[in-house]
């Protein structure tokens, strides 16, 4: 490697062939890590989900996709991810604009509120929500004091608690990608639209929104794929009554010792994540190309 580098510097300008070899050399370790520790294990998992002592079988997939219980489990995972993503987008999109307009200490403070939660373990944050949401918890106390409700509402171990906790944990992953796109927006584009007679609403919808599509897509893909496979949040905030694909996989491996079934559930989860990423990348190309 260093011999190649020295040879390349000795002959100026370096030949394109040598440069390409140098580039291949620098990228090689990362490619090896990715192939050996990510691609090959996933391919083996796919193969493992199709093998039984009797040969190739689709029995595990038939069990997953053919019984109403497991279809419900898949729907639970999708529903959690859809609701989390939509709510996070509704809060995160306008928030990213304010963040991009903020300056000085205000900007630093707001950004710190995005970075800081990443330092607290998901486990501890989810547990904090169980304290906030239980019947004698802070949220109920505040709502009763304000006169919004008379009796404490049961929130913990309900879908509400699950969605609140999930949005809370994944929201920074929606705001950050949108923010980094909005922060680089060229103000002259909307000014030009205004000069050409567009009202602020039209300028926003037809100029600003399309320009931010790459950020939206990155945020949506990230939050969806993180929340569809969340394990800790559903386990602590709703538990057994809301089985997800993630909890099914964990159970199959850690308790039931059914690795083939777990592998099949893993492949289904993988297919959902890949599908969402592929579709959103296509949409980004379509939206960004306008």
Partner 1 sequence: MSTRIAIVLAWTAALGAAMFLLAPLLVIAAASFSPTPVFDLPIGGASLRWYERIGRMDGFWPALGLSLQIAALSTAISLVFGTLAAIAITQRRLPGSDMLATALTSPLMMPGLVLGIALLQYFRALGLGNAWTALLLAHLVVTLPYIARTMIAGLARFDFTLVEAARTLGCTYPGAILRAMVPALAPSFLTAGLFAFLASFDNYPVSIFLTDVRAKTLPIKMLQYIEEAPDPTLAALSTLILLATVILLILSDRLVGLHRMAGTAE
Provide long-range contacts, Cβ within 8 A and 24+ apart, for 51-55.
51/260, 52/260
Question: Which residues, numbered 57-76, are part of the site for partner 1 (CB under 8 A)?
Answer: none
The stretch near partner 1 (CB under 8 A) out of 56-64, 68-76, 128-136, 148-156 is: 128-136
Q: Decide whether 68 or 227 has the Cβ nearer to partner 1.
A: 227
Q: Decide whether 68 or 145 has the Cβ nearer to partner 1.
A: 145
Q: Does 148 bind partner 1 (CB under 8 A)?
A: no
Instruction: Kindly report whether the peptide bond that precedes residue 13 is cis, defined as omega within 30 degrees of 0.
Output: yes
In angstroms, the CA 161 to CA 154 distance is: 9
Binding residue (CB under 8 A) for partner 1 from 179, 212, 234, 243: 179
In angstroms, the CA 168 to CA 239 distance is: 18
Q: Does 198 bind partner 1 (CB under 8 A)?
A: no
Could you list the beta-strand ranges (E) of 19-161.
Answer: 51-52, 55-56
In angstroms, the CA 19 to CA 215 distance is: 33
Q: Decide whether 29 or 53 has the Cβ nearer to partner 1.
A: 29
Binding residue (CB under 8 A) for partner 1 from 80, 89, 175, 284: 175
Q: Does 259 bind partner 1 (CB under 8 A)?
A: yes
Q: What are phi and psi of 246, to 5 degrees?
A: -60, -45
C-alpha 71: how far from its chain's center? 22
Q: How far is the CB of 248 from partner 1 (least distance, A)?
A: 10
Q: Does 234 bind partner 1 (CB under 8 A)?
A: no
Q: How far is the CB of 158 from partner 1 (least distance, A)?
A: 18
In angstroms, the CA 248 to CA 23 distance is: 43
Q: Decide whether 68 or 105 has the Cβ nearer to partner 1.
A: 105
Q: What are phi and psi of 58, to 5 degrees?
A: -110, 15
Binding residue (CB under 8 A) for partner 1 from 15, 19, 66, 282: 19
Q: Does 195 bind partner 1 (CB under 8 A)?
A: no
In angstroms, the CA 104 to CA 108 distance is: 6
Binding residue (CB under 8 A) for partner 1 from 114, 143, 153, 189: 114
The stretch near partner 1 (CB under 8 A) out of 12-20, 53-61, 67-75, 154-162 is: 12-20
Binding residue (CB under 8 A) for partner 1 from 66, 72, 94, 288: 94
Return the number of other C-beta atoms located less than 10 Å from residue 152's C-beta: 15
What's the number of CA atoms in the CB half-sphere (13 Å) around residue 119?
5
Q: Does 102 bind partner 1 (CB under 8 A)?
A: yes
Report yes or no: 163 and 80 within 8 Å, Cβ to Cβ. yes
Type and span of the H or E element at 4: helix 2-10
The stretch near partner 1 (CB under 8 A) out of 50-58, 64-72, 124-132, 148-156 is: 124-132
Q: Does 177 bind partner 1 (CB under 8 A)?
A: yes
């Amino acid at each position: 490697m260093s011999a190649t580098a020295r040879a390349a510097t000795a002959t100026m300008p370096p030949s394109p062939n040598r440069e390409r070899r140098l580039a291949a050399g620098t990228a090689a370790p990362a490619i090896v890590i990715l192939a050996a520790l990510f691609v090959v294990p996933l391919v083996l998992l796919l193969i493992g989900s199709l093998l039984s002592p009797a040969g190739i079988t689709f029995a595990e997939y038939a069990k997953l996709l053919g019984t109403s219980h497991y279809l419900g489990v898949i729907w639970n995972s999708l529903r959690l991810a859809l609701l989390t993503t939509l709510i996070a987008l509704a809060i995160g999109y306008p928030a990213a604009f304010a963040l991009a307009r903020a300056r000085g200490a205000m900007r630093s403070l707001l950004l710190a509120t995005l970075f800081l939660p990443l330092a607290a373990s998901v486990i501890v944050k989810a547990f904090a929500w169980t304290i906030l949401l239980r019947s004698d918890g802070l949220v109920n106390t505040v709502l009763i004091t304000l006169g919004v409700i008379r009796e404490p509402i049961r929130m913990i171990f309900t879908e509400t608690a699950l969605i609140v906790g999930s949005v809370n944990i994944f929201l920074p992953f929606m705001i950050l990608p949108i923010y980094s796109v909005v922060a680089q927006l060229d103000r002259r584009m909307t000014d030009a639209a205004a000069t050409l007679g567009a009202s602020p609403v039209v300028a926003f919808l037809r100029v600003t929104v399309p320009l931010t599509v790459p950020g939206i897509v990155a945020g949506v893909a990230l939050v969806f794929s993180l929340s569809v496979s969340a394990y800790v949040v559903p386990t602590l905030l709703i538990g057994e009554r809301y089985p997800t694909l993630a909890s099914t996989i964990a159970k199959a491996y850690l308790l039931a010792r059914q690795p083939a079934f777990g592998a099949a559930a893993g492949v289904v989860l993988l297919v959902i994540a890949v599908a969402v990423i592929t579709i959103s990348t296509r949409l980004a190309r379509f939206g960004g190309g306008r």
